[in-house]
Amino acid sequence: MEKYTALIHKLHKTRRLSGKEWAFLISGRTPKLSEYLFSLARKEQEHYYGKDIFVRGLIEFSNYCKNDCLYCGIRRSNRKACRYRLDEDAILACCHEGYALGFRTFVLQSGEDASYTKDRLVNLVRKIRKNFPDCAITLSVGEWDKSSYQEFFDAGADRYLLRHETYNTNHYAKLHPKALSAKNRRQCLWDLKDIGYQVGTGFMVGAPYQTPELLAEDMLFLKELNPQMVGIGPFIPHHDTPFKDKPAGTMELTLFLLGCIRLMLPKVLLPATTALGTIHPRGRELGILSGANVVMPNLSPQGVRKSYLLYDNKICTGEESAQCRDMLEQKTASIGYRIVTSRGDSLNMPQNAANS
Ligand code: SAM
């Protein structure tokens, strides 16, 4: 036990561990050690962000996808998925509704939908930027070349979410079709960073074939990239994918890794994800108590929410946007934190990176 506690102290003090140390710590975690880790993570979180929990309005605007990721419910080969695509007006209507509810960050997420071309996305971002000059615009629309990312940025996008999914090349190949590679995914992240986006990356916890050694590689990559946001959530099987019989990731390991990431990158924005709320009714609250400080309620129109089904039993597909937001506000208050509606920029910006 002392060896593990010593590693937590080392992480807290130096903000880094070696690959071997990460694998050792992840394999040897215990409930007692986790509680200790969470107490340190909460202190770090409070030191930088107080009791503030940032909200982002998530608009899942298309579930068409040209990719065929083996874990994902909206993969191209899933003929049973009920496909939808919101047009620009419908997306703007979601932003207006969100704005009235207090949201100052919109996250536009979709599958890699060929009908949303680069020019169409640029126009969409421009319109949102013009209508909502005080809001942050986050894109999560997959892999593009650097010049396209630059055009989105010039049109007014300020943040980009792209999980690296897994650092390891062989592991990546077991989760994805041949056309996709870990190397290209990571190059996209470096390009986004280079352009000046606030970048979010991350991975699924308990993805099929994942091991503590592979997670150690993910932790080293997070340290190297030093992103503004890290999104991790449990893998949850979807019944119409090749991974339908694979076991889901656990809440316990997700919380442990949230605590570790908070100590490694203390100023990072760390969402308590919908997937975490899906595997346990108190998942998001427990995520906050382990170091998370962002929640992303859904602003998509109610009629399409059930169709953006990345995994089974996804929560919040029935409520109105206002209900979603109110429920999160109550749940957050119940554990002593408060929802704030500002843009919620990361303190982990390049000029602030000394402590990260
Ligand atoms: N197309 C964009 C992209 O590639 O980043 C955004 C959409 S993609 C569906 C968003 C994220 O959903 C992925 O990065 C993946 O980690 C997560 N995801 C997909 N299927 C999942 C599953 N079965 N369980 C948990 N998370 C899943």
Ligand 1 pocket, residues with Cβ under 6 angstroms = 71-72, 109, 111-112, 140-142, 162-163, 165, 204, 233, 235-236, 238, 275, 310-311
**pLDDT at 319 (0 to 100):** 81
**pLDDT at 1 (0 to 100):** 63
Average pLDDT estimate for 230-253:
98
Which stretch of 4-18, 172-186, 221-235, 336-350 has the lowest confidence by average pLDDT?
336-350
Distances (CA, A) of 154 to 32, 125, 195, 241: 48, 9, 10, 37
Residue 73, judged by CB atoms within 10 A of its CB (0-12, 13-18, 19+), counts as buried
Question: Does position 12 have pLDDT exceeding 70, yes or no?
Answer: yes
Measured in Å, residue 32 CA sits from the centre of ligand 1 at: 31
Q: Which atom of ligand 1 is nearest to the CA of 109?
A: 6
Which stretch of 106-110, 275-279, 300-304 has the lowest confidence by average pLDDT?
300-304
**pLDDT at 65 (0 to 100):** 98
Residue 204 · residue 11 · CB < 8 Å: no
Q: Which atom of ligand 1 is nearest to the CA of 203?
A: 16
Residue 157 · residue 139 · CB < 8 Å: yes
On average, the pLDDT of the chain sits at: 95
Counting ligand 1 atoms within 8 A of each CB, the residue from 204, 311, 314 with the most, and so the one to mutate, is 204
pTM, two decimals, is 0.97
Instruction: Tell me the sheet residues that pair with 316.
Output: none
Residue 37 · residue 284 · CB < 8 Å: no
Average pLDDT estimate for 87-107:
96
* Cβ-proximal residues to 168 (8 Å cutoff; 6+ apart), any chain: 182, 214, 217
Question: Does position 346 have pLDDT exceeding 90, yes or no?
Answer: no
Distances (CA, A) of 50 to 267, 279, 336, 338: 11, 27, 11, 9
Q: Which atom of ligand 1 is nearest to the CA of 248?
A: 24
Measured in Å, residue 310 CA sits from the centre of ligand 1 at: 7
Q: Which atom of ligand 1 is nearest to the CA of 71?
A: 23
What is the rounded distance in angstroms from the CA atom of residue 109 to the CA atom of residue 305? 12
**pLDDT at 351 (0 to 100):** 55
* Residue 203 pLDDT grade (very low, low, confident, very high; cuts 50, 70, 90): very high
Q: Which atom of ligand 1 is nearest to the CA of 310?
A: 20
Measured in Å, residue 91 CA sits from the centre of ligand 1 at: 20
Tokens representing 300?
């998509």
* Residue 355 pLDDT grade (very low, low, confident, very high; cuts 50, 70, 90): very low
**pLDDT at 348 (0 to 100):** 86
Which range has highest mean pLDDT (249-258, 299-308, 309-318)? Answer: 249-258
* Cβ-proximal residues to 8 (8 Å cutoff; 6+ apart), any chain: 25, 33, 36, 37, 40, 263
Question: Does position 352 have pLDDT exceeding 50, yes or no?
Answer: no
Q: Report the largest interatomic distance among the alpha carbons of the chain, rounded to a whole angstrom.
A: 58
Residue owning the nearest CA to atom 11 of ligand 1: 163
